[in-house]
Amino acid sequence: MTVNINLWAKTGSLSLPGAGTVPFWGFAGAAAGPAQLPGPLLEVPQGENVEISLTNDLTFGVSLVFPGQDFIPQPVKNPDGAFVSYNLETAPGGSLIYSLTASRPGIFLYESGTAPEKQIQMGLYGAMVVRPPGFDPGNPATWTAYGPGTGTEFDVEKILVISEVDTAIHQALASGDDPAAYNLDYFLINGRSFPDTLNPDDSGTQPYSGKITANSGQRVLLRIINAGFMNHNIRLQGIDIKVAAGDSRPLITPGLDKSYLKHTVTIGSGQSYDILFTAPAAGNYILYDRNLNCCVNGNNFPGGILTMVGII
């Protein structure tokens, strides 16, 4: 079977606390919809052939790559041999279909493979969840991250895409200038900086809330994936977290449990961790970047990569 997905690459405008609006490039899930950060969350069943039709509304070439997934990139070079893109480009105004096989369950990034030092910083990334066999969205009894025997049953799932923004670079690239040295000044969970991370889901350009809500005793699965340039040390204060998978490789397999407990997890750029915990007593538990310089908006604390796990 084939899952067909349509994405549009567009310009848009981010709202960041204290920075006003910041231009960005992102993916939209509808021809008339806004570019969003991160891009639309894609959800596909394991084993399917996934065909993503990308329509490029930007004024330069864009492509898609799927790190960790089963696809065959076709790198592009200039006639003189200079490297252009990690995968075939969609020309401005054109569209192209990118295919992959969702051969393993897990949490993955999709991102531009063209001028990634600019296009990923500008927002051309999103997350894709591949569901294990037997996963039925309507039946909580079937909810696992990696299938039976992987110890990843959950009641509440939250996907957290970590990234950063350099507002000066965004302004420069949006006006066609070349970027100066990077000096990241905004730090994002699901495209938002604290306190916006706490706002509920909406239909704007940054639609995904960063807040986690669960009932005491529920099994919570956090799927944290780093789309940014930096490594981030994500801490959940006051709750032991079990690392159940790294880069979508489950650590528990039948007969062998390699999961481990932590309170702070260093998530390298491009990496993901699935972490599990049982919701403790009611209260607010902070989830933040222990690289404390990323808990700011510009120069102001609190901000950035900071959110709450609200246990009811």
Partner 1 sequence: MTVNIELWATDGYMSTPDGNSIYIWGFSDAAGKKAQLPGPRIVVTQGDVVSITVNNILPEATSLLFPGQSGVLADTGTGPHLAQPQFDGSGNLVSLTDFADYPGNPDTNPASIKYTFTAGNPGTYLYESGTNPHKQVPMGLYGAIIVRPADYDPAIPTRKTAYGENTGTEFDREYLIVVSEIDPALHSAVEKGTEYKIREFKPRYWTMNGRCAPDTMFADGMGCLPNQPYGAMIMAEPGEKILIRYAGSGIENHPLHLHGNHTRIVAEDGRLLKNGATDLSYKRFTVLTGSGQTYDQIFTWSGLGYSPADPIPTTVPNLRNLGVGDAGWTLWSGSPYLGEKGDIPVGVTSFNGIGEYYFMLHSHEEMQITNWGEFPGGMMSMLAIFPAGTLGDTGIIE
Residues near partner 1 (CB under 8 A) are 183, 185, 194-195, 231, 233, 235, 237-240, 256-264, 266, 280-281, 283-284, 286, 288, 290-293, 295-296, 298-299, 301-302, 306, 308
* Distances in whole angstroms, Cα of residue 180 to Cα of each of 104, 118, 168, 171, 184: 39, 11, 8, 11, 12
Which residue, 109 or 306, is less far from partner 1 as judged by CB?
306
Place of tokens 């944290």: 224
Which residue, 92 or 238, is less far from partner 1 as judged by CB?
238
Which residue, 270 or 280, is less far from partner 1 as judged by CB?
280
Place of tokens 């039976």: 148
Which residue, 33 or 280, is less far from partner 1 as judged by CB?
280
Q: How far is the CB of 43 from partner 1 (least distance, A)?
A: 31
Q: How far is the CB of 236 from partner 1 (least distance, A)?
A: 9
Q: How far is the CB of 260 from partner 1 (least distance, A)?
A: 6
Which residue, 108 or 187, is less far from partner 1 as judged by CB?
187
Q: How far is the CB of 182 from partner 1 (least distance, A)?
A: 12
Q: How far is the CB of 169 from partner 1 (least distance, A)?
A: 14
The closest of 79, 99, 80 to 88, measured between CA atoms, is: 99
Q: Which helix (H) or strand (E) holds 52?
A: strand 49-56
Which residue, 128 or 306, is less far from partner 1 as judged by CB?
306
Which residue, 2 or 183, is less far from partner 1 as judged by CB?
183
DSSP structural state of residue 141: G
Q: Residue 41: CB partners within 8 Å, gap ≥ 6?
A: 126, 127, 128, 129, 159, 208
Q: How far is the CB of 246 from partner 1 (least distance, A)?
A: 13
Q: HSE on the CB side for 90, CA within 13 Å? A: 24
List phi, psi (to 5°) of 79: -55, -30
The closest of 110, 293, 287, 270 to 186, measured between CA atoms, is: 293
Query: Residue 67 forms beta bridges with which residues?
Result: none
Which residue, 17 or 29, is less far from partner 1 as judged by CB?
17
Enter the tokens of residue 226: 């780093």
Q: Residue 293: CB partners within 8 Å, gap ≥ 6?
A: none
Q: How far is the CB of 71 from partner 1 (least distance, A)?
A: 30
The closest of 165, 141, 163 to 154, measured between CA atoms, is: 141
Q: How far is the CB of 214 from partner 1 (least distance, A)?
A: 16
DSSP labels, 2-29: EEEEEEEEEEEEEEETTTEEEEEEEEES
